Amino acid sequence: MVTILRRGTVFIFLIGLFVFFSLSSDRFFQDRNLTNILVQNAHIIIVTVGMSLTMISGGIDLSVGSVAALCGAISAGLMVRNGLPAEVSILLGLALGFVIGAINGALVVFGKLPPFIATLATLGVARGLTLYYTEGRPVSGLTEAYTFWGRGSINDIPTPLIVWLIVVVAFTVMMTRTRFGLHVYAVGGNQETARLAGIPVDRVKILCYALSGMLAALAGVLLTGRVNSAQPQAASGLELEAITAAVLGGVSLFGGVGNIPGGVVGALLVGVLGNGMNLLRVQSYPQQIIQGVVLVSAVAIDMLTKRLESASKRTKSAASR
Amino acid sequence: MSTSSNSSAPLLEMRAIHKSFPGVQALKDVDLIVHPGEILALLGENGAGKSTLMRILDGVFPPDSGQIIWQGQPVNLRSPHDAQAIGISMIHQEIALIPYLDVGKNIYLGREPRGVVPGMIHWRKLYADASEQLARLGLTIDPRTPVRDLSIAQQQMVEVAKALSLDARLIVMDEPTSSLTDTEVETLFAQMRRLKEQGVSIVFISHRLNEIFTVAERVTVLRDGTLVGSKPVRELTQDELIRMMVGRDVADIYMRDEQDAPAVGTSAPILEVRNLTRGDAIEDISFTLNRGEIVGIAGLVGAGRTELAETLFGVHPPTSGEVLLNGTALRLNSPAQAIRQGIALVTEDRKAQGLFLRMSVGTNITMKLLAKLASFGIIPGGKVKRVGSEFVEKLNIRTPSLGQRVRNLSGGNQQKVVIAKWLTLQPRVLILDEPTRGIDVGAKAEIHRLMRALVAQGVGILMISSELPEVLGVTDRVLVMREGRLVAEFNTRQTSQDEIMTAATGAKTSW
């Protein structure tokens, strides 16, 4: 019952939203709009993958939005201002995201800071650096080699869709088939047991944050490519969307539970919600309010399932006595 | 088997172990020997030094002095990982598995068989090996079952399987039976004997003496951080063992002081319960508790004893019936109301409901009193300290200071802190729900003595207990509950365990 609740809610929500938006807007259920949803939300999906990773390991990464903006801006700047080739600029951007993430991880592991605080600080610092670097103005003048990643296509399949599919498949394989993936679950499930089993807990955690940072950078590159310029305020509030998506997708705030495909479904739900509200001409301010409400509801459900689980466990063990 | 193993070279020798913590000498010159294929019981009251000794063996912290000799070689254990590597595995009371992962993953965590591609796991091998380890224990659990779907007993077995997969030669089990049913305990003992046949040694920590006589071959007893002795179990009687443990005669433990006992029924009633009903949890309960009397409430788990206590304490208001305290009707709509009227409830689960584990002894004791002590919302440190020390002394709570965090105390002393907290309010009726569960014999005796002292001052005590010897040893009268109803009442001096059990189970004939 509880598992059905956990796994089922997000699909019920998603179907419900589909039905609702299809009925209330005749433009929603059209091929073009549905493709749009899959393309426009690429950055949310990719960041949600990283968020799921840090959350499963028992942490959280609030810095994803600013890291996406910073790495987008710097990769754009490296190309436009320093004349580096697009591919090199993008790879350096991803590397920067990886390093910032690793710093987050080091703050958590060696600085013994709560992940919430460490990544909140990074959220502020990265946004500040973005504003400093861009002087508050968009970085534009990107070539097609760069924007290809955000708005191009291969054989009529939009590049962002291909990119996020690859990311999702790769990280799903990583989480389900590799030792590292298993160790992430173990660290999030019970850190002491993991340590005792000889798992390099510190390294696992740092790598989770580093990968989350790198995925945030990738999201930043796609976003920059899509809007054809690096906006200093890009991706602000992305952490809210990603956490909402991950929790909706069944990733537990308490660590140890969840999977990547679940997070992706959650991200699509957040995306459909945004898309539908746009079609219904809901203004952007109320949209944020609704997103906040969805996050609170998702977390409340997560907490509730957790309580139900322990309650059903208690009755079970009482019955066996 | 046991005689031949005892003559062989020891598997483990801990020699002259000393360990002190700030303010406490935890272990003084303690020796421990374990032979191959032996089940050794380690016994001692809470605070006797068992867990300190085992944590040294597990490499959690080093001894101040002394030697650990493993298979004839001195070893230096700096972490549980070191201990595991040479073949020492600990199974703690709190299960240390990862609940959301399945059995196979838990067993081979950190040692996953590698697949062809680097970094990948050879899942088929992992589950096959896990099945094999489980089969060694005669278990038929599917290794793909998530651990959280298993019973506590099964989870313990998974821990044993994990230890075996690490080639453990010595497994330390810290009170493994404390949350098991009788059948599960039987199964566990069968497993322990099976391990012994396979040459694995076991150190078994338990408070339940009958279990030690059932399963262990030898027992090592600690008291106050020193070694009392180590003897084959068959050379000991239960009484001798208790004497070794507590350092005094067993007769003291459940012996009441006859002079103190009031003549039943002659004192004035303090609490009168009339036709009390709450939903179908408790139905039509009527009884009287006299001033200076201890009344036991016996019954099986689920008979409605805790529900009765909660109703009297206002946790759930009754649906009908009335309760009189000194002749005045009580209103029982909330615990706060019940407290104001002079009723106190020491709940069953002291850690979850009775204590702030991270706060100090002093704060915990004076918690209920703060509203009275504080003026203008400011807590007077001096008064808090005075009241705290008074109760620490009165109840003989063993703590280095008032500032000590409660979670660092032994179970018996934690329970005394809970009781002290309620006593600060000078209740007229004290309800104790399983007051001595999980605490050792010595602390039990102290809590019983305390109960006697309280009733001598005119308090009435209702005690819920599942331990019939305790009920018989401490109370004046016994009420027996079954399926939410009061089914029998006995004068403690004229009843027996059999009679109470028959009433509690509803068995027609004696069994």
Across the interface, whether the CB atoms of B105 and A189 are under 8 A apart is answered: no
pLDDT for the residue A313: 54
**Which single residue is written with the structure tokens 């498949």?**
A169
Of B110, B115, B119, the CB nearest to A199: B110
In a domain, A23, yes or no: no
Same domain, B33 and B153: yes
pLDDT tens, B366-414?
Answer: 888 777 776 677 777 788 888 888 888 888 888 888 888 888 888 788 8
Contact call for A177 and B121, based on CB within 8 A: yes
Residue B355 lies in a domain: no
Which DSSP category does B350 fall into?
Answer: I
Q: Which residues contact A268 (CB under 8 A, 6 or more apart)?
A: A14, A37, A38, A41, A45
Quick check: is B350 in a domain? Answer: no
pLDDT score for A288? 83
Of A177, A197, A313, the CB nearest to B109: A197
- Alpha-carbon span B377 to B386, nearest angstrom: 19
Residues of B in Cβ contact (< 8 Å) with A175:
none
- According to the model, what pLDDT value does residue A80 have? 94
Which of the two residues, B495 and A162, has the higher pLDDT score?
A162
Domain identity same for B125 and B165:
yes
Structure tokens given for B138: 């005669």
For residue range B288-304, what is the model confidence (pLDDT) as tens digits? 999 889 999 988 777 88
- Decide: B289 and B269 in contact? Cβ < 8 Å: yes
Residue B225 backbone phi and psi in degrees, to 5: 80, 5
| Contact A179/B at CB under 8 A | yes
pLDDT band per the 50, 70, 90 thresholds, residue B467: confident
Enumerate chain B positions whose Cβ falls within 8 A of a Cβ in A.
80-81, 84, 96-101, 105, 109-112, 114-115, 119-121, 123, 148, 151-152, 181, 301-302
Is A222 a member of any domain? yes
CB contact under 8 A, A186 and B120: no
Q: Is B459 exposed, middle or buried (0-12, 13-18, 19+ CB in 10 A)?
A: buried
pLDDT score, position B415: 87
Out of A42-46, A174-178, B442-446, B507-511, which region has the weakest mean confidence (pLDDT)?
B507-511
- Verify whether the Cβ–Cβ distance B120 to A179 is below 8 Å: yes
Residues B12-32 have a mean pLDDT of: 87
Residue B351 inside a domain? The answer is no
| CATH number of domain containing B453 | 3.40.50.300
pLDDT value, residue A6: 54
User: Same domain for B304 and B394?
Assistant: no
Give B500 to chain A, closest Cα distance, Å.
20
Helical H segments across B180-250, by residue range: 182-197, 209-215, 238-246
The CATH number linked to A127 is 1.10.3470
In this structure, is residue B382 part of a structural domain? yes
Is residue A78 in a domain?
Answer: yes
Structural domain including A176 reads 42-304
Give the up-direction half-sphere exposure of residue A316: CA atoms within 13 A in the CB hemisphere: 11
Between residues B424 and A310, the one the model is more confident about:
B424
Give pLDDT, residue B23.
Answer: 61
Average pLDDT over residues B134-149: 89
Say what the pLDDT of residue B248 is. 57
3-state secondary structure of B172: strand
Long-range contacts of B396-404 (CB under 8 A, 24+ apart): B396/B446, B397/B361, B398/B47, B399/B361, B400/B22, B400/B23, B400/B24, B401/B23, B401/B361, B402/B360, B402/B361, B402/B362, B403/B360, B403/B361, B403/B362, B404/B360, B404/B361
Looking at B204, B225, B248, the residue that finishes a domain is B248
Give me B219's structure tokens. Answer: 């027992």
Cβ within 8 Å, pair B100-A189: yes
pLDDT of residue A67: 98
The rounded mean pLDDT for chain B is: 84
What is the SS3 string spanning B428-467? CEEEEECCCCCCCHHHHHHHHHHHHHHHHCCCEEEEECCC
Highest mean pLDDT among A248-257, B202-211, B257-266, B499-508: A248-257
Amino acid at B41: A
- Does A309 fall in a domain? no
Domains of chain A: total: 1
Chain B residue numbers with beta carbons less than 8 Å from the beta carbon of A318 are 301-302
Mutation for A interface: B109, B124, B181, most A CBs within 10 A: B109
Pair B218, B275 in one domain: no
Contact state of B119 with A193 under an 8 Å Cβ cutoff:
no
A27 touches chain B (CB under 8 A): no
- Is B347 part of any domain? no
Using CB atoms within 10 Å of the CB of residue A134, give its burial: 0 to 12 exposed, 13 to 18 middle, 19+ buried: buried
Does residue B448 share a domain with residue B391? no
Is the alpha carbon torsion for B499, B501, B507, B510 positive or negative?
negative
B300 & B374 share domain: no
Query: What is the b/e burial string over A160-172, where b = at least 16 CB atoms within 10 angstroms of the residue's CB?
Result: bbbbbeebbeebb
End-of-domain residue from the set B213, B248, B283: B248
**Partners of residue A178 in chain B, C-beta under 8 Å:** 119-121
**What is the predicted pLDDT for the residue at B265?**
45
**What pLDDT shows up at residue B406?**
86
Inside any domain, residue A113: yes
Residues of A in contact with B98 (CB under 8 A): 185-186, 189-190, 193-194, 256
Q: Are residues B399 and B444 in the same domain?
A: no
**Same domain (yes/no): B240, B273:** no
Give, for all 321 residues of chain A, the pLDDT tens digit. Answer: 344 455 566 777 788 888 889 998 888 888 888 898 999 999 999 999 999 999 999 999 999 999 999 999 999 999 999 999 999 999 999 999 999 999 999 999 999 999 999 999 999 999 999 999 999 999 999 999 999 999 999 998 999 999 999 999 999 999 999 999 999 999 999 998 898 888 999 999 999 999 999 999 999 999 999 999 999 999 988 999 999 999 888 898 889 999 999 999 999 988 998 899 989 888 888 888 888 888 788 778 777 876 776 666 555 444 443
For residues B434 and B414, membership in a common domain is answered with: no
The pLDDT of residue B257 is: 47
Per the structure, the complete domain to which residue B459 belongs is given by 254-342+427-505
Model pLDDT, residue B123: 93
Contacts of A114 (CB under 8 A, 6+ apart): A108
Query: Which of A56, A171, A193 best tests the B interface by mutation, with the highest count of B CBs <10 A?
Result: A193
In this structure, the number of other CB atoms found within 10 A of the CB of residue A92 comes to 18
- Min distance B81 CA to chain A CA atoms (Å): 6
The whole-angstrom distance between residue B93's C-alpha and the CA centroid of its chain comes to 10
Residues B320 and B380 in one domain: no
In this structure, the answer to whether residues B28 and B141 fall within a common structural domain is yes
E strand segments, B79-225: 88-91, 170-174, 201-205, 218-223
The pLDDT value recorded for residue B242 is 75
**Do the Cβ atoms of B81 and A193 come within 8 Å?**
no
Chain-chain contact of A194 with B80 (C-beta, under 8 angstroms): no
**B84, B148, B181 ranked by CB distance to A321: nearest:** B181
Mutate to test the interface with A, among B81, B82, B91, B98 (most CBs of A within 10 A): B98
Nearest CB neighbour to A186, from listed B80, B98, B120: B98
Residue B233 lies in a domain: yes
Domain final position from B216, B248, B280 = B248
The predicted pLDDT at position A310 comes to 65
Rg (CA), chain B: 26
Residues B78 and B153 placed together within one structural domain of the fold: yes
Residue B103: pLDDT above 70?
yes
Q: Structural domain tally of chain B? A: 3
